[in-house]
């Protein structure tokens, strides 16, 4: 009797075998899932494409900071209410913005000495996940910081303080520097922000570059962006199937995503070979935009429920494979910071569960000693139904640490009056947050550099009550 050794060779085939005939129902299913999954990635990739060939950093329309690829443009004051490039802007910080293409070249970030002022640089990859911890909460020293792509293995020049590696080739950088709402601080901040810059490694010479960000070029407005009153449309269903391979090539699969990538590539190849299947897929992603992604503009449709109908999320800029929250945040307020940098609280409803609306008057009262516990600053911002500022007579869109004229109640509590018409009482006027007349709106609390009571959930916002 002979012992026979049986051997077998297992060939792992990822996704449908190349050339397999696929049904319309199947490619529709995959396309729908792909659209939801890739929405934030296509969003960020298309921002790169939109601005990559600009001649210089500047203000589009005179108010939105934009820059060529691997450069940044800084504002020198709060962003204006006309902005429609990014939903849920704030008027707490001076912003900067710039796309990065690390497949072109590594990028240098300049960090000046901000002293006691709060600041943070948000640096995210194609998935909107942070890959660089740079800010006051990290004790980041002034200096030069290098951003490199997943495949870069060059020499780090002398003078670079630290290197941060992205898992994707494309990303986005947003410096934020706190600004008090006073003329004095508007002047005091200028020498600091003029030392902020971002540029390709080939331009690095070890010496800090100076920019006069108050005198940047005024670039023409882009009339195609944000005409509906909402955010500029960065993800276009009609072109999504053609753009999907670009993001698959840009960001390598996360652990466990290899099969997903293979399936997506298989249906993209099928679309190339069969125009009818491509039409079906494009039709399906249009439906997905309307009934899957569209409703996630509303804060009440996602997030972690909190008392009094507030919601929050606990993994901003660290979404990983939480595709639902990643796309929901990208649709409603893309480019959030990590929770240890900023904690966000969202509100669409009053304390009875009714939609906030400018036809009613509301109060938000923080009990004595119960303002958001932060080491940085806090704010309460009002957004219209599209998640942008609603112009008002006093040009006030938020209240918080930056405001030096808020008046506390005799018991030490602080009441904010949220209504369309100006209060007649002087104290209420000082604490007035204007609402759009007869229009739905949302409230939004930011706690920058939150204390543990915020991040562990032991502090939550007070109710939004209809005023009597």
User: pLDDT at residue 158 above 60?
Assistant: yes
User: pLDDT at residue 8 above 50?
Assistant: no
User: pLDDT at residue 42 above 90?
Assistant: yes
Average pLDDT over residues 256-278: 96
Tokens at 282, concatenated: 């494009």
- CA angle, 267 as apex, 262 and 269 as ends, to 5°? 95
User: pLDDT at residue 23 above 50?
Assistant: yes
pLDDT higher at 375 or 227: 375
User: pLDDT at residue 52 above 70?
Assistant: yes
Residue with structure tokens 């990208």? 330
User: pLDDT at residue 9 above 60?
Assistant: no
User: pLDDT at residue 36 above 70?
Assistant: yes
Judged by DSSP in three states, 5 sits in: coil
- Express each pLDDT in 400-424 by its tens digit: 999 999 999 999 999 999 999 999 9
* Model confidence band, residue 18 (pLDDT cutoffs 50, 70, 90): confident
d(CA 334, CA 33): 20
The answer to whether the pTM exceeds 0.85 is yes
What's the DSSP call for residue 289? I
pLDDT higher at 11 or 49: 49
Residue boundaries of the structural domains of the chain: 14-294, 299-466
* Model confidence band, residue 223 (pLDDT cutoffs 50, 70, 90): low
Segments in 230-367 forming alpha helices (H): 237-250, 258-273, 275-288, 323-333
Res 438: pLDDT: 93
* Model confidence band, residue 227 (pLDDT cutoffs 50, 70, 90): low
User: pLDDT at residue 290 above 80?
Assistant: yes
Mean pLDDT for the chain overall: 95
Q: Evaluate whether 177 touches 192 at the Cβ level (below 8 Å).
A: yes
* Model confidence band, residue 229 (pLDDT cutoffs 50, 70, 90): confident
- CA angle, 384 as apex, 383 and 390 as ends, to 5°? 85
- Express each pLDDT in 360-403 by its tens digit: 999 999 999 999 999 999 999 999 999 999 999 999 999 999 99
* Model confidence band, residue 1 (pLDDT cutoffs 50, 70, 90): very low
* Model confidence band, residue 457 (pLDDT cutoffs 50, 70, 90): very high
Res 15: pLDDT: 82
CATH code for the part of the protein at 14-294: 2.60.40.1610
Torsion angles phi and psi, residue 394, rounded to 5:
-100, 5
Res 4: pLDDT: 47
Q: Evaluate whether 360 touches 383 at the Cβ level (below 8 Å).
A: no
- Express each pLDDT in 292-335 by its tens digit: 999 999 999 999 999 999 999 999 999 999 999 999 999 999 99
- CATH match of 299-466 with 3.30.390.50: no
Phi-psi region of 319 (alpha: psi -120 to 50; beta: other; left: phi over 0): alpha
Closest to 277 (Cα-Cα) out of 289, 269, 287: 269
Res 151: pLDDT: 95
Tokens at 101, concatenated: 């293409």
User: pLDDT at residue 221 above 90?
Assistant: no
* % of the chain beyond a pLDDT of 70: 96
Res 225: pLDDT: 53
Partners of residue 199 on adjacent β-strands: 108
Partners of residue 168 on adjacent β-strands: 251
- Express each pLDDT in 93-147 by its tens digit: 999 999 999 999 999 999 999 999 999 999 999 999 999 999 999 999 999 999 9
Domains 14-294 and 299-466 share a fold: no
Q: Evaluate whether 328 touches 316 at the Cβ level (below 8 Å).
A: no
């Amino acid at each position: 009797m002979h012992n026979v050794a049986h051997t077998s060779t297992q060939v792992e085939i990822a996704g449908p075998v190349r050339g397999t005939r696929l049904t319309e129902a199947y490619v529709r299913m995959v396309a729908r899932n792909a659209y939801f999954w890739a929405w934030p990635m296509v969003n960020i990739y298309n921002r790169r494409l939109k601005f990559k060939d600009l001649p210089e950093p500047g203000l589009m329309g005179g108010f939105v900071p934009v820059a060529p690829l691997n450069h940044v443009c800084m504002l020198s004051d709060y962003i204006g209410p006309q902005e429609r490039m990014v939903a849920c802007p704030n008027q707490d910080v001076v912003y900067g913005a710039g796309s990065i293409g690390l497949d072109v070249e590594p990028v240098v970030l300049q960090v000046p000495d901000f002293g006691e002022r709060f600041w943070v640089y948000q640096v995210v990859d194609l998935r909107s996940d942070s890959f660089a911890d740079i800010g006051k909460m990290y004790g980041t020293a002034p200096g030069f910081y290098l951003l490199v792509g997943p495949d870069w293995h060059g020499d780090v020049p002398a003078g670079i303080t630290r290197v941060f590696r992205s898992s994707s080739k494309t990303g986005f950088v947003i410096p934020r520097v706190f600004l008090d709402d006073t003329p004095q601080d508007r002047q005091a901040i200028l020498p600091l922000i003029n030392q902020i810059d971002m540029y390709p490694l080939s331009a690095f010479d070890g010496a800090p570059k100076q920019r006069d960000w108050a005198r940047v070029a005024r670039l023409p407005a882009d009339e195609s962006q944000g005409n509906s009153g909402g955010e500029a449309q960065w993800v276009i269903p009609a072109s999504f199937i053609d753009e999907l391979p670009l993001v698959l090539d840009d960001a390598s699969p996360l652990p466990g995503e290899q099969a997903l990538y293979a399936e997506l590539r298989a249906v993209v190849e099928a679309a190339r070979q069969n125009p009818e299947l491509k039409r079906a897929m494009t039709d399906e992603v249009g439906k997905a935009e309307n009934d899957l992604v569209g409703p996630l503009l509303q804060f009440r449709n996602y997030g972690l429920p909190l008392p009094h109908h507030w919601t929050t999320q606990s993994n901003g800029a660290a979404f990983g494979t939480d595709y639902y929250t990643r796309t929901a945040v990208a649709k409603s307020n893309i480019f959030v910071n990590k929770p240890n940098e900023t904690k966000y609280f969202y509100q669409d409803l009053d304390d009875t569960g009714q939609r906030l609306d400018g036809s009613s008057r509301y109060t938000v009262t923080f009990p004595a000693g119960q303002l958001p516990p932060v080491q940085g600053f806090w704010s309460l911002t009002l957004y219209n139904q599209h998640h942008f500022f609603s112009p008002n007579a006093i040009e006030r869109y938020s209240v918080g640490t930056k405001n030096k004229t808020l008046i506390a109640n005799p018991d030490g509590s602080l009441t904010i009056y949220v209504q369309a018409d100006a209060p007649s009482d002087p104290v209420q006027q000082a604490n007035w947050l204007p609402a759009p007349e007869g229009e739905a709106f949302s409230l939004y609390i930011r706690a920058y550099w939150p204390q543990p009571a915020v991040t562990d959930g032991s502090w939550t916002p007070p109710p939004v009550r209809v005023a009597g």
